[in-house]
Structure 1
Amino acid sequence: MAKDTGRKMIAQNKKARHDYHILDTYEAGLVLTGTEVKSLRLGRASLVDGFAQLDGGEAYLHNIHIPEYTQGTWTNHAARRKRKLLLHRAEIDKLDQKSQESGHTVVPLALYFKDGRVKVEIALAKGKKEYDKRQTLREKQDRREADRAMSAARRKQRG
């Protein structure tokens, strides 16, 4: 039996793109237990409060919610335990150095299966100020209105 190929999305953290300026992104593996993988295969996870922390030359993901597997027994996992990230040494060192700067943090953006393995997309991010968030929303709204006007003009032209 062949493994799944491609990228199957489990969860996304859309709030992170709203709250932070994304400076750099990385793809990392996760150290998981069997019941966590089974729960993820059901497509249930939340990245909303998640963050990565670097200590002792290793990276850990905190506050990612993977609900307990319903058919799990005493081997079931804790829903919000810290999980180790699998990154190259150079990536860990770079993230550690950059995250020491004030206002910088490491946040998860997406959780997905890639060729049958669970991967997480993490980003080095800098927090946005309130006026930056309003500016981003305004730009998004202006872009949406312009697209609507253009599609209405195209419909009118055809009709």
Structure 2
Amino acid sequence: MSIARPTDPIADIYSQHHGWLLRWLRGKLNCADQAADLAQDTFLRLLTAPPEQPHSLREPRAYLTTVAQRLVIDHYRRHSLEQAWLDTLARLPEPMAPSPEDRLLVLETLHRIDAMLDGLLPPVRSAFLLSQLEGLGYAEIATRLGISERTVKRYMVQAFERCILLIA
């Protein structure tokens, strides 16, 4: 007589779909190592999802594809950001080039800022960037975005709260 063991839904999803997801990611990234990393990150997201979610997945491949696609987008955005930083460094005269430690600190800061901006709703992000990068005042931002000045103030509060959370 064998004893029936309860099945682990995440282990089942992993065993049934990991190979498929890995192949899918390889096709998107053209790099087996990056594909393996993002496949693991995808399943890590599944493991850290609310407890009821893995049990309620009717379409695990759709869920895994959505999570993995977001991770691929993040990967390419980080890569683009790093490349822009490296291009900037390459144009600096040798005596002005930062140390490897400073390069890493700047790159980490850029990633944190990128994550902060990505976490803002598009209109909030637009208002914040117009203020911080173009130096526009709230009235000018309101005109440019076609919103009230009060809304701009509310957006800026949201953006600055996110900045504070980034620092904390």
Normalised to the residue count of structure 2, the TM-score between the two structures is: 0.21
Higher helix content, 1 or 2? 2
Larger radius of gyration: 2
